Structure 1
Amino acid sequence: MNLPQRMPASRLLGAIVVVLLAMTAVAISSTVVALDALGDTRSRSVDKIEPAARRAQTLNRSLLDQETGVRGFTLTGQDAFLKPYLDGQAAQTEAARNVRDLVGDVNGRVTRIEDLARQWRSEYAEPTVAAIKVSGPAAGVAGDIERGKVVFDQLRSETAALQSDIGGLARQARADLDSAAKVVLWLVIGMGVLLVAVIGGLSLLLHRLLIAPLASLADHTRQVASGDFEHEIDADGPRETVMLGEDVNQMRRRIVQELATLAEAKAELQRSNSELEQFAYVASHDLQEPLRKVASFCQLLQRRYGGQLDERADQYIEFAVDGAKRMQVLINDLLAFSRVGRMSREQTVIDLNDLVRHVVDSFSERVEETGARLEIADLPSVRGEASLLSAVFQNLISNALKFKGAEAPVIAVDVVRDGEMWKFTVRDNGIGIEPEYADRIFVIFQRLHPKDAYPGTGIGLAMCRKIVEFHGGTIRLKTDVDSGTSFEFTLPVVAELAAEVEEVHV
């Protein structure tokens, strides 16, 4: 499938979301319908049938109250017994209406009960009550009593049948409720299983069409990022993934091209640097002998003809001798600078305590002249070339003695461990260096002061940086000090020595 035919990831995700929303809507609507049916069934059982059963019992009691009242009045003739009869009629009417409102006529039984009740009252109760009110209790006729009993037995039978029918309705409602509950349960289970299946299917589809291509692209990209720039990325999946893979391929091709260009430039630069270093070494070395002759003959002139010529001639000879000496120092420094990293010796483990002690001893006269105080911390052992590392401490301590202030110099050498590096600090209380010169001072031949004020060749700090970087560290001027000068440089920790120190501490 080519790029234009591939589905964008946004459309793929949109389709998946639409399917999930549709399934969720179907599940919710089906559940709502089932719960509504369950609610209707429960409402019919609780709100209709159960109250109807209670009203049927009330209807039965109202008929019994009427029959009891008529019987008591028949036996005693007292009007008090007519109250249950009269109240029973009102209760009967209300109960019959309630039953009909709740569950209907229930197979016509409510109507038959009302008809039989009217028949019982018209054929037995009303005539009997009227006769007794006129003639007294003895007025009751046995035939009427028997006929009334037959009709009332029919009433009892109908009310019992009514209660039985309502009980059947209750049982049916409970069965319907159980059935509806089961339907809801199975519907929920079915929709849950269906949703799980749909989500699982969509997840597999999403993994196949989106996640797996992205993971594959990530693996290929990591392989390229790790340095395998020749690795071709063959991306698959949605349009964005393929486009991203092609973008990475284009970037990879540019990197390969630029690396090739950089490799050529590096080789050319190395060749040029090698030629320059060789030229500097040869030029400096070849200048030594003629310069030594010039200096020697100038000194001979100074010794032999000093005071014999005029004052101007003596001054010229002195200038020539001084210039020759300074040129010798400069050439020696250039030779030392060119040898760093080019004429290296085997690196060994060096105890910096001994090394710095020898450096300090070499400045004993200047320390005594200036009244300087040196504070040297307990220094570690490192791997390197002793002569080169000695030159670093020698240059930094020499600068601290040279660029002193009004007070006697105080020079401190400290060290702390920072991960896999030792961080050394050489600080003093001298005239200091402005922060804007923090980079310039490490460039060869760069000076901040006139030669007359502070002698030197301008090579010392450049050599320090070259030596420290040759040993795998860095050097910088700390610009956050209040006064004086503070140089900070790093050297790698010797792994085997660090392990021995840890074992000793354990």
Structure 2
Amino acid sequence: MSVDARRWPIGRWLALLAVTEAVLLLAALIGSGIALNNLADARNRLLDVIGPQRLAAIQLSTALLNQESGVRGYQLGRQPEFLVPYTDGVRAQGEAVTQLRQLGAVPGTRIGDDLAGVLRAAEAWQAAAAPTIAPAAPPVTAAQVERGRTLFVEVRRALDAQLDHLASIRDAGRAELDSAARFLNAMLVAVAVLVLLLFAVLFFGLRQVITRPILRLAGEVRQVAESDVHRPVHGSGPREIAQLGADVEAMRQRILDEVAELERAHALLDRRTRELERSNADLEQFAYVASHDLQEPLRKVASFCQLLQRRYQGLLDERGEQYIEYAVDGAKRMQVLINDLLAFSRVGRRPGERVLVDTGVLVDDALANLDVALSLSGGKVSRGDLPEVRVEPALMTAVFQNLIGNALKFKGETPPEVRVTAEREGDDWVFSVTDNGIGIDAEYAERVFALFQRLHTRAAYPGTGIGLALCRRIVEHHGGRIWLDTEAPDTTFRFTLPAREDQGDA
């Protein structure tokens, strides 16, 4: 088989097998039809022609024998009733001859010639017997009896010849019927053998052309999947299987490329992880320095500036006292900024234990920390039914404290009113902190969560601009997200926390 033939599509192979099978089966069915038709013709000829011909010939022989018996009885007894068999025989002879003529005993045929011979012999005997059975005929003589017997012997010979010929025709018909039956049986056996052969050819052909290439391709793919990913895959057989092999090879190459890219990414990730570890170590060192080494000089600067302010109060001019006040305020703000940066940097670096806690208790703790701000602002804080979640209590308290503190800080002309609620959405709890403050424009919905981002001057509203950034970091550390709901009528911050109690560290 050529390579081009092996590259035929499966549809062409199936079409070739189907056409071949159809042609062979059609030939076998045509042969079977011919054999069946021959069998039907032979059976019809034997049953509808030869059998009735022989039966009519026997009826003719019986009719002539009855005539001969009636003639002999009348010749002996001279009683009219003795001629009844003769007259009945003559009528039966006419019916038998008519039937034989209808069945093909016409002049020019063998059976027709036999019938003509019988009728000639019968007419000669009937002509010789007619004077002896006349009503006023004299008694029959011995010569007449002998002549009648001699002529009827000829009738018997003609009848025997006719029956012998019909018997030979019947035997030939039976032989033809047997031959047609044998031919039909042979054709049926040939059809059965042909069907089995076609199934065998179909099975082994499909196995050779389709199954083996598929198994070969599957074996190569299995070797690639189990042990040797660098082993090339080659498709063989019909066009579809060869194309499948080419597609698998292309996929293998693409996987190798992606694996190589993934290995490079892993190497880069490992390198950056090591760099991040070094950066974290530097950050730890910085945090230590910020919390110890930087705080002490700032405290000294603030303390001595305050001493200068108290000791030389009234001795310095207004500008000198203003400079000292600026120095004290700057040192204090620097301390607050350092503390906020330390709090921001510690989130997630050293995760604490997460426990199942009632968020209502966390809100109460936040309100206790905001007691002074709440009293100065004259605000009110209410909350709905709050769920239990698995969190780090200190961090989540800081979230509520920052959000409620911002609501108290950025108040409008009326006393602030803050509402803390929660509702279940799928696998998360969605918390909402709503206030009636000055509000935030939608264009700043993302900017407010950036580090050191302020929408107002420090003189108007104090703060370092780290609070909301710290809230985002804490919420994301717990596997949730936080956003400003710009579609709500009042200022509303929302954040999510996992609702499943078996939620582990994010």
In the alignment, what sits opposite 2:369?
Answer: 362
Deviation at residue 307 of structure 1 after TM alignment: 9.1
Distance 1:24 1:287, change over 3 A: same
Letter in 2 for 1:474: G
Letter in 2 for 1:192: F
2:144 matches 1:150: no
Q: 1:181 aligns with which of 182, 188, 211?
A: 188
Deviation at residue 379 of structure 1 after TM alignment: 0.8
Q: Deviations over 1:81-109 (max 9, x none)?
A: 7862563254132x889xxxxxxxxxxxx
Letter in 1 for 2:481: I
RMSD value over aligned CA atoms?
4.8
Deviation at residue 212 of structure 1 after TM alignment: 1.5
2:478 matches 1:475: no
Deviation at residue 144 of structure 1 after TM alignment: 4.1
In the alignment, what sits opposite 2:420?
Answer: 411
1:414-493 to 2 correspondences below 5 Å: 414=423, 418=427, 423-430=429-436, 437-451=444-458, 454-471=461-478, 473-477=479-483, 482-483=488-489, 484-490=491-497
Distance 1:360 1:379, change over 3 A: farther
Deviation at residue 38 of structure 1 after TM alignment: 2.4
Letter in 2 for 1:457: T
In the alignment, what sits opposite 2:140?
Answer: none
Q: 1:41 aligns with which of 24, 35, 38?
A: 35
Letter in 2 for 1:213: E
Q: 1:88 aligns with which of 99, 109, 121?
A: 99
* Separation in structure 1 between the aligned mates of residue 374 and residue 124 of structure 2, nearest angstrom: 146
1:80-479 to 2 correspondences below 5 Å: 84=95, 87-93=98-104, 111-125=109-123, 128=126, 142=148, 143-202=150-209, 205-219=212-226, 233-238=230-235, 240=246, 241-242=248-249, 244-272=251-279, 274-275=281-282, 278-279=285-286, 282-283=289-290, 286-293=293-300, 295-296=302-303, 324-342=331-349, 344=350, 347=353, 349=355, 351-353=357-359, 354-364=361-371, 369-382=378-391, 384=392, 386-402=393-409, 408-414=417-423, 418=427, 423-430=429-436, 437-451=444-458, 454-471=461-478, 473-477=479-483
Letter in 2 for 1:477: W
Letter in 1 for 2:380: G
Q: Deviations over 1:111-136 (max 9, x none)?
A: 43222112223443498489979x97
Letter in 2 for 1:237: H
The answer to whether the Cα contact below 8 Å between 1:425 and 1:489 also exists between their aligned partners in 2 is yes
Aligned partner of residue 490 in structure 1, secondary structure: strand
In the alignment, what sits opposite 2:241?
Answer: none
Aligned partner of residue 223 in structure 2, secondary structure: helix
* Separation in structure 2 between the aligned mates of residue 245 and residue 260 of structure 1, nearest angstrom: 22
Higher gyration radius (CA): 2
Q: Deviations over 1:241-292 (max 9, x none)?
A: 5555444334433332343234334433553465466446635755534444
The answer to whether the Cα contact below 8 Å between 2:46 and 2:174 also exists between their aligned partners in 1 is no
* Separation in structure 2 between the aligned mates of residue 400 and residue 485 of structure 1, nearest angstrom: 10
* Separation in structure 1 between the aligned mates of residue 41 and residue 435 of structure 2, nearest angstrom: 99
Aligned residues: 459
Deviation at residue 179 of structure 1 after TM alignment: 3.0
The answer to whether the Cα contact below 8 Å between 2:429 and 2:496 also exists between their aligned partners in 1 is yes
Distance 1:49 1:416, change over 3 A: same
The answer to whether the Cα contact below 8 Å between 1:285 and 1:335 also exists between their aligned partners in 2 is no
Letter in 2 for 1:390: T
Letter in 2 for 1:233: H
Q: Deviations over 1:207-249 (max 9, x none)?
A: 44311212333446xxxxxxxxxx8623343473555544433
The answer to whether the Cα contact below 8 Å between 1:69 and 1:81 also exists between their aligned partners in 2 is yes
Aligned partner of residue 47 in structure 2, secondary structure: helix
Deviation at residue 459 of structure 1 after TM alignment: 1.0
Q: 2:52 aligns with which of 50, 58, 61?
A: 58
* Separation in structure 2 between the aligned mates of residue 96 and residue 482 of structure 1, nearest angstrom: 117
Q: Deviations over 1:366-402 (max 9, x none)?
A: 55622221124231344x4x43333233223334544
The answer to whether the Cα contact below 8 Å between 2:63 and 2:89 also exists between their aligned partners in 1 is no
Distance 1:254 1:148, change over 3 A: same
In structure 2, stretches of 5+ residues that fail to align are 68-83, 138-143, 236-244
Deviation at residue 321 of structure 1 after TM alignment: 5.6
Letter in 2 for 1:57: G
- Normalising by structure 2, what TM-score? 0.71
Q: Deviations over 1:17-38 (max 9, x none)?
A: 7666555554444333333322
The answer to whether the Cα contact below 8 Å between 1:31 and 1:187 also exists between their aligned partners in 2 is yes
Distance 1:282 1:430, change over 3 A: farther
Identity of aligned residues (%): 32
* Separation in structure 1 between the aligned mates of residue 399 and residue 5 of structure 2, nearest angstrom: 65
* Separation in structure 2 between the aligned mates of residue 428 and residue 486 of structure 1, nearest angstrom: 7
Deviation at residue 57 of structure 1 after TM alignment: 2.5
Aligned partner of residue 380 in structure 1, secondary structure: strand
* Separation in structure 2 between the aligned mates of residue 336 and residue 297 of structure 1, nearest angstrom: 27
Aligned partner of residue 332 in structure 1, secondary structure: helix
* Separation in structure 2 between the aligned mates of residue 434 and residue 217 of structure 1, nearest angstrom: 59
* Separation in structure 1 between the aligned mates of residue 99 and residue 265 of structure 2, nearest angstrom: 111
Aligned partner of residue 231 in structure 2, secondary structure: coil
Deviation at residue 137 of structure 1 after TM alignment: 9.1
Deviation at residue 478 of structure 1 after TM alignment: 6.5
In structure 1, stretches of 5+ residues that fail to align are 1-6, 98-109, 221-230, 498-506
Distance 1:190 1:433, change over 3 A: farther
Deviation at residue 206 of structure 1 after TM alignment: 1.9
* Separation in structure 1 between the aligned mates of residue 41 and residue 365 of structure 2, nearest angstrom: 108
